[in-house]
Amino acid sequence: DLAQELMRLRSLSLSNDTHFVPLWEATSQCLRCAGASPELAHVATVLLPLIESFMVVYKPVLAEKSRMADSGGGSSVQISPMSVAPSAGETYFQNFTERHKKILNTLVRNNPGLLSGSFSLLVFNPHVLDFDNKRSYFYQRLHDDSAGAGGSNNRRALLLGQGGTGGGLGQPATVAGQQPPSAGAHTHHHHAGQQRPLGQTLHLNVRRETVFEDSYHQFAGQSGEEIKRGRIHVKFRDEEGVDAGGVSREWFQALARQMFNPDYALFKPSAAGRVTYQPNPQSWVNPDHLQYFKFVGRIIGKAIVDQRVLDAYFTRSFYKHILGRKVDYRDMEAIDPSYYKSLEWILENDITELLEETFSIEVDDFGQHRVVDLIPDGQNVNVTEENKAEYVRLVTLQRLYLAIKDQIKSFLTGFHDLIPRDLIQIFNEQELELLISGMPDIDVDDWRNNTEYHGGFNSGSAQIQWFWRAVRSFDQEERAKLLQFVTGTSKVPLEGFAHLQGNQGVQKFQIHKDFGSPTRLPTAHTCFNQLDLPLCESFDTLRANLLLAISECSTGFGFV
């Protein structure tokens, strides 16, 4: 079959538009054959010039999409840059690249420079690139001088193939004899007129018990570029430790603990297990709260730049704000599970003559109650069956964004001082958590031994046996994403899965039988660490559906 497809490829030409689709289909069939047999894996490398041709042909389509997104995105955190409706050409491109995701990632893994050249279109397709390839590209761009330009121009340059180390069509993606920049490499420059040459050591002398405030004051006089390029050197006052890397790691961890200190009132724990955090809408009780949020944004940005893992986990909605993506009512479950259930009930039921709500909400500020209108004169506009969807949208917007928009804005000001806005958007919410907090070390045996089964499932059920077989076959990233999908975070308690936290305290991992269609995707309820598993008819189907669910449903909700 492969020989026949290769012969058909030779009969096609790029000189005529009518030949394009047959050419890509023949290429696709060859890639399918290569992907099905490990001994044919080298064929993908042989076909690389054709794959690059495919990328070049579709660059104008994706470049136009980028221009439309840039002109329509505005400045609101609530607007996603990927919200422009796909064209037929873009849909074909997405289908092709997602169909051959595994081979494309292998090619990139073997030659990272492709992402800065002919494969640059893949950077902004969130479903194709694996996390390790995104992360490698991210650090290459972050520490490259051209990343300093930031913004939409970088994205447009990538789409037009005008940046980075990637080669042209059919050419090596790196110059012979050169290696792409390492993920941890820093490029230092000295600019006239600045108080501190970029790349110079940033000396911090702090007290352990007040490390947050001391670090805040010592960072206050530094620019974002100085912090980004500088090497942190920490001295804990009255301690003998010499910072050869270990003290600064300890400093990052101490800061991560203190930024969530309730005395600062910056963040409050979510309802989902109390291990993830959300900006506190009442942080204004701290008069310096907005400057503190900017500092926290800089610290998390610096930890990312220096590849330091932080024990800091946020709600999915806050990760969405960092990425500039929309929140929806389902994100409310992690903040207020009972309120989420009431919103879900409103959407799923006819509320005619059953609900007495208006387009307003009541807010409690330390005992002082006030009413916030969701629309002008909202207190006098009733929620009806016809307008209930708009009510749910507006109340979600108020609670998850408008109530904390100043805190979010200040955090992002500090964060973007170090991390370019467009560059961080190559990740999804799950991947951003892994970038900040690291890949967890998951003990599958401990996980399995501390799992409860409900609805007729038991440890001997076929679907349960297949589930654990699938989990063992997953790589580290896939296991982390499964844990995120079901519990809302990749964090594993220090004491193990026996101490997994839920809405009401310790709540073990649960698998419930889903009596719906066997073709449904698995769904999850993060507040209860609950996975609803359909009665799939084979191991292969269960594994494929589980992977699809954790990849496509990053907020923890499956598709019907």
Hey, CA dihedral for 116, 119, 124, 127, is it positive or negative? Answer: negative
CB contact set of 224 (below 8 Å; sequence gap of 6+) = 298, 414, 416, 417, 418
Chain position carrying tokens 């789409």: 159
Known catalytic residue: 527? yes
Whole-angstrom distance, CA of residue 236 vs CA of residue 256: 16
Whole-angstrom distance, CA of residue 270 vs CA of residue 481: 19
Q: Annotate 73-121 with DSSP letters as a single string.
A: --S-TT--TT-SPPPHHHHHHHHHHHHTHHHHHHHHHH-GGGGGTTTGG
Separation of first and last alpha carbons in the chain: 36
142, 422, 397, 290: CA torsion to nearest 10: 50
Provide the CA 326 distance to its chain's centre, in angstroms.
Answer: 13
Name the helix (H) or strand (E) containing 60. Answer: helix 48-72
CB 119 within 8 A of CB 110: no
Q: Annotate 202-263 with DSSP letters as a single string.
A: EEEEE-GGGHHHHHHHHHTT--HHHHHHSEEEEEETT-----SSHHHHHHHHHHHHHTT-TT
> Would you tell me the crossing angle of helices 20-36 and 2-10 to the nearest 10 degrees?
150
Residue from 542, 531, 534, 529 nearest 517 by CA? 534
CB contact set of 324 (below 8 Å; sequence gap of 6+) = 73, 77, 79, 80, 81, 421, 425
| Active-site hit among 30, 33, 527, 553 | 527
196 CB burial (10 A radius; 0-12, 13-18, 19+) = middle
Provide the CA 298 distance to its chain's centre, in angstroms.
Answer: 18
CB 478 within 8 A of CB 486: no
Question: Pairing mode, if any, of strands 501-502 and 505-506?
Answer: antiparallel
DSSP 347: H
CB 517 within 8 A of CB 509: no
Whole-angstrom distance, CA of residue 381 vs CA of residue 374: 10
Residues classed as catalytic: 527
